[in-house]
Chains A and B, each alone.
Chain A
Amino acid sequence: MKTGVMFILTLVVAQVSLAKPKIDIKKDFDSLGTNSAIAEKAQELDPENRVRIVQNRKVDRTNRLELGFNYGLVTGGDAYYKTQNIGGLLEWHFNPKFSAGLRYSKALNSLTSEGDSLYKDAQRRYQADPTSGYAVPDLDYPIETGLVTVSFYPVYGKFNFFELGVAHFDFYAIAGYGKMNLKSGQTDTYTAGIGVGLWAAQNLAMRLEGRWQPYMDKVFTGERRLDTVVVNATLSVLL
């Protein structure tokens, strides 16, 4: 009897020791990261490792030629006429930070409402009485401008273009010197301004810039300085 009981007990013990321990994955999960004091201490020992994104420019502008067509509006000049520019640019990008180029623009002039009314008034007076006097403003409007420029691109960024893709852009500062042909003759001009260049694709770029561009014109009262602001939008091809 005693032997039988011992035998059964031995079997039971053997069964228990041979049985595989139950694997409880959920319990093991629950035991992870439960000590909040330790987690707080970990916060204090922050080594400040930093993750940054470092990527190649989507459009590399090292030793590339940019050929563009632009349209501009001129403000701040003579009160009696307004000028729009159409023109082109040829820009050589030495690297993504610096470029130098040539700008040409053809001026399209028209009278402002004030100028138009003065000329119409003078015309009416003349038609009414050719002998009577009339006054019209002396206009020394621009005909065309040529500039040599340098640009510096210190700030870059990117934006998500309507979920279609990511485009990179650069803000830039521009400075230049050139000549303007006015009605009265040629005059010097210089320019300085800022702009943003959007590099839409490997061969396509867009620019929007605003430049201060002063020059001296000659009206019947003598030379005078005009401080104009030129706002240009450019569409170009990167070669």
Chain B
Amino acid sequence: MKLMLLVISFLFQTAAFAQSVAGEEAVQALNQYKNGAKVSGIEALLRVSKPKQIPPDVKSDWNQATEKDNETWKQIGTRWTAPFSGVLDGNFENHLRAWQLRARDIKSSADERSVEELISVLPENGDAKTWAQWQLAMHYGIENKTKSASRVLQSILDSDQELIDQNQVLLAVARIFYQENRLDLSAKYFRMIDKSSDYWLDSVEERAWITTKQKAYDKTLADLTTTLSSLWENKTGPESFFLAMFSNLKLCDYKRIFELTSLFKKRFLPRVVALQDLERRGFNDASQYVIDEFKDGDHPKINSERALKLPRFVDRDELLKREAEALQIVEDEQKENGNALTSVSLMNIKNRIATRFKQLARADLEEIKKNLTKIQLVEAEAIQRMHLNPKLAEKKGRSKISDGLSTIEFPYDEEVWLDELDNYHVDARGCPTKGG
């Protein structure tokens, strides 16, 4: 009996101690928040180890403090988790949850329902709602739930949102139609993407896959002539090279396959070395430039020198942009009210930035490796075919390409004219005979 009383008493004291520690941490974070260091204040709160132990009065104080805050949730990188439910004001919490949502976080039907409910309570045309819808659409697309993805994407298109580039949404719609094998509709949406958009080159490359599926390899090569142009050497991915080589294999243009192999090596080998370094260290001078530009609210200009050292499309990575903006805010908070909490926030943000660069570098390297393997297979197949079929067939005549007086034709000499991009046509003439 006495022992039992001792045990019970010990447990209560432990619980009270835990509550006081959690409460103490939460109060410190609240003071940080109220002193103007809002980002580091909330980040400090989200680092409380046992949030369920935060006393109700401290929770109530946090609720009141964040009731009218309509923007800080955008800069919080530390993940909100379910144990923190009820600590922050309800509206702030919903915005934070939505803003931190990633497609990969949605793992089950229950998660899907939870996200749909969250979206339904968020204000219309708000950034958090748009972001959550976007992540949900990505999830549905990845899971091949194309009808659900289409529904969510249609909501985004119908809204007045400005967070997600309209061309990016159209690209997603085109991809959904491609997944459903509705190739004509997919091509239609790819063509709706503005030529001045950052996503236009992606649309041309992905459109080439449509014509590949339709076995119109000459049209595939026509599209890829645009993507492989020297104008885009900073942005063209390895998949364009593989697809071009594959199409040339189908058209028996072995000469072109070897030309593309040389070009592929020339463009990607230097990048591989730099990306491996970035994957290891998480930073380099080019990555620092990107973060500095994002901090100033500018769009980074990736010239050819920087492009060699950076993952593709790093300039449009939303997560890096947010972390850079948060970094700027916390650096300002550090200058005004520097303390241990802001220092920890600063360190965490920098670590998250480095981790993100490593993730992007790793993804690029994996893409290069995957396509390199395919390219090796194409090369091997080309070599085998050349051995088996050493003679050329009777060449068919040139086909008429232009379709009327309103179109004009010019020869292609690899000189790039901006008005000619996406206007290439390939006249394929035939394949070697079988046998020697």
**Which chain A residues have a beta carbon within 8 Å of chain B's beta carbons?**
23, 25-26, 28-29, 31-33, 35, 38-39, 41-43, 45-58, 60, 62, 95-97, 156, 158, 160, 166, 168
Q: Can you give 8 contacting A-B residue pairs, CB < 8 Å?
A: A25-B276, A26-B272, A28-B369, A29-B269, A45-B255, A45-B386, A53-B425, A160-B417
Q: Do residues B257 and A55 form an inter-chain contact, with CB atoms below 8 A?
A: no
- Of all A-B residue pairs in the complex, the 10 with the closest CB atoms, nearest first, are A33-B261, A42-B254, A55-B423, A51-B412, A53-B410, A50-B427, A166-B419, A53-B420, A42-B255, A39-B258
Q: Do residues A47 and B424 form an inter-chain contact, with CB atoms below 8 A?
A: no
Q: CA separation between A96 and B407, bound complex, in Å?
A: 10
Q: Do residues A51 and B258 form an inter-chain contact, with CB atoms below 8 A?
A: no
Chain B 183-219, CB-CB to A under 8 Å as 1, else 0, gives 0000000000000000000000000000000000010
Q: Chain B contacts of A95 at CB under 8 A?
A: 405
Interface residues of B in 261-303 (CB under 8 A from A): 261-262, 264-265, 268-269, 272-273, 276
Choose among A26, A28, A42, A54 the residue that contacts B401 (Cβ–Cβ < 8 A): A54
> At the interface, yes or no: B376 with Cβ under 8 Å from chain A?
yes
Q: Do residues A96 and B425 form an inter-chain contact, with CB atoms below 8 A?
A: no
Interface of A is mostly: mixed
Q: How large is the interface on B (under 10, 10 to 19, 20 to 34, 35 or more residues)?
A: 35 or more
Choose among A39, A62, A166 the residue that contacts B417 (Cβ–Cβ < 8 A): A166
* Nearest CB in chain A: distance from B357 CB, A: 18
Q: Chain A contacts of B256 at CB under 8 A?
A: 49
Q: Chain B contacts of A55 at CB under 8 A?
A: 407-408, 410, 419-420, 423
Q: Chain A contacts of B239 at CB under 8 A?
A: none
Q: CA separation between A30 and B430, bound complex, in Å?
A: 31
Q: Do residues B409 and A52 form an inter-chain contact, with CB atoms below 8 A?
A: yes
* Nearest CB in chain B: distance from A2 CB, A: 44
Chain B 404-436, CB-CB to A under 8 Å as 1, else 0, gives 011111111000011110011111111110000
Q: Chain A contacts of B68 at CB under 8 A?
A: none
Q: Do residues B375 and A32 form an inter-chain contact, with CB atoms below 8 A?
A: yes
Beyond A57-B408, A168-B408, whether A25 also contacts B253 by CB under 8 A is no
Q: Chain A contacts of B382 at CB under 8 A?
A: 42
Q: Do residues A32 and B420 form an inter-chain contact, with CB atoms below 8 A?
A: no
Q: Do residues B408 and A49 form an inter-chain contact, with CB atoms below 8 A?
A: no
Q: Do residues B406 and A33 form an inter-chain contact, with CB atoms below 8 A?
A: no
Beyond A54-B425, A156-B408, whether A47 also contacts B253 by CB under 8 A is yes
Q: CA separation between A29 and B273, bound complex, in Å?
A: 11
Q: Do residues A47 and B425 form an inter-chain contact, with CB atoms below 8 A?
A: no
* Nearest CB in chain B: distance from A155 CB, A: 11
Residue of B nearest to A170 (CB): B408
Q: Chain A contacts of B272 at CB under 8 A?
A: 25-26, 29
Q: CA separation between A56 and B268, bound complex, in Å?
A: 35
Which of B56-64, B134-142, B304-312, B390-398 contacts its partner? B390-398
Q: Do residues A47 and B383 form an inter-chain contact, with CB atoms below 8 A?
A: no
* Nearest CB in chain B: distance from A165 CB, A: 8
Residue of B nearest to A60 (CB): B406
Q: Chain A contacts of B427 at CB under 8 A?
A: 49-52
Q: CA separation between A134 and B423, bound complex, in Å?
A: 72
Q: Do residues B376 and A28 form an inter-chain contact, with CB atoms below 8 A?
A: yes
Residue of A nearest to B257 (CB): A42
Q: Do residues A62 and B406 form an inter-chain contact, with CB atoms below 8 A?
A: yes
Q: Chain A contacts of B42 at CB under 8 A?
A: none
> At the interface, yes or no: B118 with Cβ under 8 Å from chain A?
no
